[in-house]
Chains A and B, each alone.
Chain A
Amino acid sequence: MSDQSNITDDSQYDEQEELDGLIHALQLSQNYFLFYACCNSVPKQNELIERARASFSGKQIEVVCLTKPTNNLLRELRETLAGKKPDAVFVQGLERSIESEGEGADNLAVTNLNHYRDAFREVLSCPLVLWLPEYAIVKITNTAPDFFSIHSGIFYFSATAEKLTGQVFQSFIENFKEISSMPASEKLKRIETLEKLLSEYEALPEANRNRGTEARLNIELADVLYSISNFRKAIEYLKQALKISREIGDRLGEGSSLSNLGLAYRNLGEYRKAIEYHEQSLEIRREIGDRLGEGSSLGNLGNAYFSLGEYRKAVEYYEQTLEISREIGDRLGEGSSLNNLGLAYHSLDEYRKAIEYYEQSLKIAREIGDRLGEGSSLGNLGNAYDSLGEYRKAIEYHEQHLEISREIGDRLGESNSLNNLGAACNSLGETEKACDLWRKALAIYEAIESPNAKIVRQNLEQYCQRE
């Protein structure tokens, strides 16, 4: 047996299997035993608890929801359970007491858990399940290892499926940095200018027209449109540019157009179509030895596979991209690759690893003044902390992301950060605030035809009152 077995294989927990394990534990317990259910999202906890109730048939589960911090759980339970004889007791919300207190040995809530550990047996004659986010359990292990050592089982539930709606990708668009980092008003002005230029150009007699310049104008216009998330219109101009590049045999331009078409389709949720375009552009770029372009195409393929949920495949592409960008000193590409590797690991539930990548990518974005990248990395750090259940920290990052998105007129980024802020608030039980944020996010998603709109609508339906 090897000591170096792969930890990630062990940390992939099947939700149903974990829930079955928990129910099984409740059925086996003939007296007081302590269990932990690790789940970072409160709505997810609620869903699982309902399922547990249904499976623990004929038995009564008493759910104690702590809405305020308490430093004496035992006393709370004694009061709440007076005269009741449940078959199991679930406690939610204890993290409020754990986070509100000081660090280390001064955390009174945790200290008390330890002191009264034997008294729980006197108050409860049935199993007790503490539903907590991971960080709170870690705090217990570090502050009161003795108390932690006496549990009879721990069950992990991932909360990522519902939450990762507003992930912020960094796409691989060449020369995109200048455009995307512009203030919104500047972009609109630029669209106006470019459209005017292009229509003037098209009005020229055939002989006076430079097809190359025309293609370039189409691409530039598409870039700006893309940067304000008007993907449909961007696609129109890109198709025009592609046509011209093919006519005049401009292989470099053809590669760019194909690549940008792939990006636009991905943003509209048409992933298979996106993959086709990226594969075509990759082929051309390899043919003409365009290393920068090759890296972009690989990265964009990674993004597309990511969107299809094929994370391992995405990691493979991102690693190739990272290698190329380092080789040719492309800092922007390097930052994007790191960010996207972070995303892939995030989706594989390896949050700490994800955070490490995001932080590297954030550093590069700041170094090279890439505001879009900076925003993305911040938003993704927010998502990672959200997944770890550290919602306050998550909110801080999302707010920074929101600010940058608004500054540079990145509508997708703005709606993503609003959506993510909503999710974090919802997890903290601030439902009203969450709904307000989601409505704002939805308005933007609908305006830019983002597939994320569907997910936000679901959230609104599930958690919010109709307005």
Chain B
Amino acid sequence: MIDEHLRLIFNACNPNQTATADNYSDCRGARGGDALTDQIIRQLRMADDSQQLRFLFTGHIGSGKSSELVHLVGKLRNETTFPIYVDFKEYLDEQDTRLEDIFVALAIELSENFRERFHFQLEDALLRSWYETLRGFANGSQITELEIGLPEDVGKLKAEFKQNPSARKQLHSAIKAGNISLLSEFNLLLDKANLYLAQNTTFKRLVLIADGLEKIEQFDGRSRGLESQRQLFIESQAQLTGIGAHILFTIPLFLYRSSADAPKLALYYGNESFVLPMVKIHNRGNFDDNYQLGHSALKAILQKRFGRIKVEGEGFEPDALEHLIRYSGGNIRNLLRFVQQAITYTDTLPIKISAARKSVGKAVDMFAASINEQSGHYQKLAQLELSPKQQIVTGDDAYSTLLENTTIFEYVDGDDGGAEEGDYQRWYAVNPVVRRLPKFTEAVAAAVALKKTEQS
């Protein structure tokens, strides 16, 4: 028989689930103080009618970006700006993504949101023409009479668009052949939406929240990764920034940290960018100097998921909980994964230190096999470990890679966080799991020895 408590917490700690309103936990104190939601809401309130705000949002894998955005959407319900949240992960696949796809997805979600929230069908010639094209293609070019304005149309368009890549290609060419400016058409749709809001609801404006664009691998025929992301956010910026509504984009950390691209991003998208750091669990430069606020925040996250089972006491032996938190480095997804793996070695609560050790050991082994020695990554890690202010060389692509694959974590000191005046608020640390690797220790020792030789 499986212990029911064990089953409950195992299923509650899904690392692949965005936090809901029920289990979202505010970690702002340990993330540098000011919360993303507060800042965005403040700015939206202050914006006058002619102003269009653009926000960029980035952060580590698993740091909780989507959870923050979903939380923002919830908060905005009480404001005068109506949020349209688009989870682009739902729309993307291995196909080369085009700008058309992004606009179609935005239009679909806009229309759906209006239908669900206001029971209002946006009069959308654009969507209709797309649907006709898609259906015509899917049904072997037999265009049947459309039931215009029925709510399921958008649903059908969405389903077809998501599941039928060849139909999507057809749509691309149809849009191109139509020779219309997609941006102007889309802005027309936005105008209609804004008009409806102003006339019929308590909301005044729209804000589009585009989550997941950083996950696009290939865009507009460019090679995968950085080139494609550059093509999207920098080369195509005129289209993105031309959208007639407040808008937030999630962008990849490697683009945001690239020395060539960062100034352009700031220029095109204004200065409204946010980086979600790790939850700070220890103070700068000292892994043993616990930052209690961060520990409490992570415990609170677990408590939300554990429900009536007390995390401290019932859930874990004290050592076991400390062990998992310490090695999570403040990465929430890692922590949840560690908890799940530890549960697989547990028959009854509380989770014991031996299970916690095994769980972390798995991560250590995986990093041991995956860190690229040839590229000198251990030397880069040693350099960071020994840097007095825990800084990395900005613009060094190796560091971008290491940030991207969570070998290095980024933290921000809040007002109370020990940042002295004139100090960098932002600092970095080697993932505590990686610090356990003998190769890392050796690289640090070698770097120390080298320094001594240089000095003498």
Seen from chain A, the residues whose Cβ lies within 8 Å of a Cβ on chain B are 1, 3-5, 7, 10-11, 17, 21-22, 24-25, 27-31, 33-34, 71-72, 104-106, 108, 111-112, 114-118, 121, 134, 137-138, 141-142, 145-146, 149-156, 352
**Tally of chain B residues near chain A (CB < 8 A):** 52
Whether B405 contacts A145 by the Cβ 8 Å rule is: yes
Seen from chain B, the residues whose Cβ lies within 8 Å of a Cβ on chain A are 2, 6-7, 10-11, 14-16, 61-62, 89-90, 92-94, 215, 217, 223-225, 287, 323, 326, 333-334, 337, 340-341, 343-345, 347, 357-358, 361-362, 364-366, 368-370, 372, 404-406, 432, 435-438, 441
Whether A150 contacts B15 by the Cβ 8 Å rule is: yes
Q: Which residue of A lies closest to B287 (CB)?
A: A3
Knowing A21-B345, A72-B94, A111-B217, say if A28 contacts B10 (CB, 8 Å).
yes
Whether A115 contacts B10 by the Cβ 8 Å rule is: no
Whether B62 contacts A149 by the Cβ 8 Å rule is: yes
C-alpha spacing A403/B392, complex, angstroms? 50
Shortest Cβ-Cβ A-B pairs, 9 listed: A10-B361, A105-B224, A150-B16, A105-B225, A145-B405, A21-B344, A28-B10, A152-B340, A25-B344
Q: Which residue of A lies closest to B9 (CB)?
A: A28
Whether A149 contacts B334 by the Cβ 8 Å rule is: yes
**Residues of chain A lying within 8 A (CB to CB) of residue B323:** 1
C-alpha spacing A406/B431, complex, angstroms? 50
**Residues of chain A lying within 8 A (CB to CB) of residue B14:** 33, 152
Whether B341 contacts A153 by the Cβ 8 Å rule is: yes
Whether A146 contacts B215 by the Cβ 8 Å rule is: yes
Contacts between the two chains (Cβ within 8 Å), count: 134
Picked from B215, B361, B441, the residue with its CB within 8 Å of the CB of A11 is B361
Whether A115 contacts B93 by the Cβ 8 Å rule is: yes
C-alpha spacing A434/B202, complex, angstroms? 74
Q: Which residue of A lies closest to B340 (CB)?
A: A152
Whether B364 contacts A27 by the Cβ 8 Å rule is: no
Knowing A3-B287, A28-B10, A115-B217, say if A145 contacts B361 (CB, 8 Å).
no
Q: Which residue of B lies closest to A146 (CB)?
A: B61
Whether A10 contacts B344 by the Cβ 8 Å rule is: no
Q: A112-B93, A121-B16 are in contact. List 6 more A-B contacts (CB 8 A).
A: A4-B438, A7-B438, A21-B344, A24-B344, A134-B369, A150-B16
Whether B361 contacts A154 by the Cβ 8 Å rule is: no
C-alpha spacing A108/B218, complex, angstroms? 11
C-alpha spacing A141/B362, complex, angstroms? 13
Nearest-neighbour CB distance to chain B for A57, whole angstroms, equals 12
C-alpha spacing A27/B224, complex, angstroms? 39
Knowing A28-B2, A116-B93, say if A111 contacts B224 (CB, 8 Å).
yes
Picked from A1, A24, A142, the residue with its CB within 8 Å of the CB of B405 is A142
C-alpha spacing A11/B344, complex, angstroms? 17
Picked from A4, A34, A71, A112, the residue with its CB within 8 Å of the CB of B441 is A4
Picked from A7, A118, A138, the residue with its CB within 8 Å of the CB of B90 is A118
Q: Chain B interface mostly helix, strand, loop or mixed? A: helix
**Residues of chain B lying within 8 A (CB to CB) of residue A104:** 224-225
Whether B6 contacts A28 by the Cβ 8 Å rule is: yes
Q: Which residue of A lies closest to B7 (CB)?
A: A28
Q: Chain A interface mostly helix, strand, loop or mixed? A: helix
C-alpha spacing A106/B96, complex, angstroms? 12
Nearest-neighbour CB distance to chain A for B435, whole angstroms, equals 5
A-B contact pairs, 14 of them (CB 8 A): A5-B436, A7-B436, A11-B364, A21-B344, A21-B345, A25-B10, A28-B7, A28-B11, A104-B225, A118-B89, A138-B366, A138-B369, A142-B372, A352-B369
Knowing A10-B357, A10-B365, A28-B11, say if A152 contacts B93 (CB, 8 Å).
no
Whether B344 contacts A153 by the Cβ 8 Å rule is: yes
**Residues of chain B lying within 8 A (CB to CB) of residue A134:** 369
Picked from B93, B94, B362, the residue with its CB within 8 Å of the CB of A154 is B362
C-alpha spacing A149/B436, complex, angstroms? 19
C-alpha spacing A17/B435, complex, angstroms? 26
Nearest-neighbour CB distance to chain A for B371, whole angstroms, equals 9
Picked from A105, A121, A138, A154, the residue with its CB within 8 Å of the CB of B217 is A105
C-alpha spacing A1/B92, complex, angstroms? 44
**Residues of chain B lying within 8 A (CB to CB) of residue A30:** 7, 11
Nearest-neighbour CB distance to chain A for B168, whole angstroms, equals 14
Whether B6 contacts A156 by the Cβ 8 Å rule is: no
**Residues of chain B lying within 8 A (CB to CB) of residue A117:** 16, 89
**Residues of chain B lying within 8 A (CB to CB) of residue A71:** 94
**Residues of chain A lying within 8 A (CB to CB) of residue B436:** 3-5, 7
Knowing A22-B344, A27-B2, A154-B341, say if A145 contacts B362 (CB, 8 Å).
no
C-alpha spacing A29/B341, complex, angstroms? 12
Whether B370 contacts A138 by the Cβ 8 Å rule is: yes
**Residues of chain A lying within 8 A (CB to CB) of residue B404:** 145
Knowing A106-B224, A152-B15, A152-B337, say if A7 contacts B368 (CB, 8 Å).
yes
**Residues of chain B lying within 8 A (CB to CB) of residue A146:** 61-62, 215
C-alpha spacing A115/B91, complex, angstroms? 9
Nearest-neighbour CB distance to chain A for B180, whole angstroms, equals 29
Q: Which residue of B lies closest to A30 (CB)?
A: B11
Nearest-neighbour CB distance to chain A for B322, whole angstroms, equals 8
Nearest-neighbour CB distance to chain B for A357, whole angstroms, equals 15
Picked from A28, A121, A151, the residue with its CB within 8 Å of the CB of B337 is A151
Whether B365 contacts A156 by the Cβ 8 Å rule is: yes
Whether B340 contacts A153 by the Cβ 8 Å rule is: yes
Whether B343 contacts A28 by the Cβ 8 Å rule is: yes
Whether A115 contacts B2 by the Cβ 8 Å rule is: no
Whether A10 contacts B364 by the Cβ 8 Å rule is: yes
Nearest-neighbour CB distance to chain B for A317, whole angstroms, equals 23
Whether B341 contacts A141 by the Cβ 8 Å rule is: no
Nearest-neighbour CB distance to chain A for B20, whole angstroms, equals 15
C-alpha spacing A29/B405, complex, angstroms? 27
**Residues of chain A lying within 8 A (CB to CB) of residue B7:** 28, 30
Whether B362 contacts A108 by the Cβ 8 Å rule is: no
**Residues of chain B lying within 8 A (CB to CB) of residue A7:** 364-365, 368, 436-438
C-alpha spacing A142/B372, complex, angstroms? 9
Knowing A3-B435, A28-B11, A154-B366, say if A112 contacts B337 (CB, 8 Å).
no
Nearest-neighbour CB distance to chain A for B137, whole angstroms, equals 20
Nearest-neighbour CB distance to chain A for B209, whole angstroms, equals 17
Knowing A24-B344, A138-B369, A152-B15, say if A115 contacts B94 (CB, 8 Å).
yes
Q: Which of A5, A21, A31, A104 has the most CB of B within 10 A?
A: A21
C-alpha spacing A352/B372, complex, angstroms? 13
Nearest-neighbour CB distance to chain A for B370, whole angstroms, equals 5
C-alpha spacing A116/B344, complex, angstroms? 26
C-alpha spacing A132/B341, complex, angstroms? 18
Q: Which of A31, A104, A115 has the most CB of B within 10 A?
A: A115
C-alpha spacing A38/B15, complex, angstroms? 20
Q: Which residue of A lies closest to B368 (CB)?
A: A7
Nearest-neighbour CB distance to chain B for A143, whole angstroms, equals 10
